[in-house]
């Protein structure tokens, strides 16, 4: 029997450009008394700068912290490291994988789509990007990696907001939304964000996310003012049924497709597979919830580049709008081709 999703260990990919504040966030995870057992995979333990007094034991580059968490370094193969953590005594509440500041998070995320052993025991939970409010606009101009990290994120921690003015903050948030209108955005100072807002989010479990946040696939500018201790949510609801809503940031785009008419599965599935086969290098993320004709179940899918996974999640509820919503985020996407192909899949 395959492991159920709930029994698999959730894995968060933590990314962000150099100096954004990832280390500050990791320090909190490894030192605070939050009552959770997290395993943190970092590139170099020395870079984290954890106080030696907090380390109670070390075994083969795995450091045990006095709050029950462990920290280990990547030596080559991420799959091997994950396998080793799975075999340790006592299950962890979650695993966090830190990428280098110059890394594209896509290859790490793809590990959870293609490696069978990893899939049996772990599930990709979310991609969390820490961004520097003061320098992000500059990084987006000169560093493709920074743009990838924003585009790929499910959660964005916009850090160092105390170092910019309100107009500057509004500008950087607009830049973020031009690249990724769908990620949850938290404003922070010194990465003071509730760990529950960045860990165990279930962002790759579309069915769960849509139950908690029905606007998940809506383009929006919701953000949380974490350093004030309260939240403000603003949602921009697009209602262009069967149409295409798009945002531009030079070469990066997000496309939103919707139809309140059912889709023909015999047309849609080959179309989607052909689309990611031909344009997968350009498509960073794809996700959607689908209503097929002659099918009482919701179909949910998501993809990373050319890797796709999907399944029937549950039956449509009485009174629930049976509409299909898809999101593609990527570079130089062929908008008209995608629009035309999608519309060919809608039943008439």
- Indicate the domain borders of the chain: 5-232, 244-344
Long-range contacts of 215-218 (CB under 8 A, 24+ apart): 216/182, 217/182, 217/256, 217/287, 217/288, 217/289, 217/325, 217/326, 217/327, 218/182, 218/256
According to the model, what pLDDT value does residue 301 have? 86
> What are the residue ranges in the chain where pLDDT is below 50?
1-2, 221-248
According to the model, what pLDDT value does residue 268 have? 95
Q: Which residue has the tokens 């570079």?
A: 331
- The CATH number for 244-344, chosen from 3.30.1390.20, 3.30.450.40, 3.40.630.30, 3.30.1220.10, is 3.30.1220.10
- For the chain, list the strands marked E by DSSP: 9-16, 38-42, 55-59, 62-65, 70-73, 94-98, 122-132, 155-159, 184-187, 223-225, 230-232, 244-249, 252-259, 283-291, 297-304, 307-315, 324-331
- The CATH number for 5-232, chosen from 3.65.10.10, 3.30.70.1170, 3.40.50.300, 3.90.1170.50, is 3.40.50.300
According to the model, what pLDDT value does residue 187 have? 97
According to the model, what pLDDT value does residue 341 have? 96
Per-position b or e across 151-168, b if 16+ CB within 10 A of its CB: bbbbbbbbbbbeebeeee
Strand order in the sheet with 307-315: 244-249, 252-259, 324-331, 283-291, 297-304, 307-315
According to the model, what pLDDT value does residue 230 have? 32
């Amino acid at each position: 029997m395959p492991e159920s999703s709930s029994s698999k260990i959730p894995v968060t990919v933590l990314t962000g450009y150099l100096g954004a504040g990832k280390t500050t966030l990791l320090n909190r995870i490894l030192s605070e008394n939050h009552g959770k057992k997290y395993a943190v995979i970092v590139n170099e333990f020395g870079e984290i700068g954890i106080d030696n007094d907090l380390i109670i034991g070390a075994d083969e580059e795995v450091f045990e912290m006095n709050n029950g968490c462990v920290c280990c370094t990547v030596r080559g193969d991420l799959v091997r490291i994950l396998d080793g953590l799975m075999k340790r005594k006592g299950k962890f509440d979650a695993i966090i994988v830190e990428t280098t500041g110059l890394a594209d998070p896509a290859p790490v995320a793809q590990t959870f789509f293609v490696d069978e052993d990893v899939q049996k025991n772990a599930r990709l939970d979310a991609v969390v990007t820490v961004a520097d409010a003061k320098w992000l606009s500059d990084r987006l101009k000169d560093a493709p990696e920074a743009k990838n990290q924003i585009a790929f994120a499910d959660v964005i921690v916009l850090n160092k907001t105390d170092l910019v003015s309100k107009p500057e903050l509004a500008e950087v948030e607009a830049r973020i939304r031009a690249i990724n209108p769908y990620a949850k955005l938290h404003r922070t100072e010194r990465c003071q964000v509730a760990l529950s807002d960045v860990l165990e989010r279930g962002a790759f479990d579309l069915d769960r996310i849509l139950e908690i946040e029905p606007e998940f696939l809506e383009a929006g500018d919701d953000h949380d003012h974490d350093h004030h201790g309260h939240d403000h949510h603003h949602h921009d609801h697009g209602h262009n049924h069967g149409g295409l809503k798009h945002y531009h940031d030079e070469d990066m785009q997000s496309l939103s497709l919707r139809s309140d008419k059912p889709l023909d599965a015999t047309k849609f599935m080959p179309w989607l597979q052909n689309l990611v086969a031909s344009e997968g290098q350009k498509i960073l993320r794809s996700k959607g919830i689908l209503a097929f004709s002659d099918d009482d179940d919701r179909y949910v899918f998501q993809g990373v580049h050319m890797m796709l996974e999907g399944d029937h999640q549950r039956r449509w509820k009485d009174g629930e709008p049976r509409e299909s919503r898809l999101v593609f985020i990527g570079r130089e996407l062929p908008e008209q081709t995608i629009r035309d192909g999608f519309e060919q899949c809608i039943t008439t």
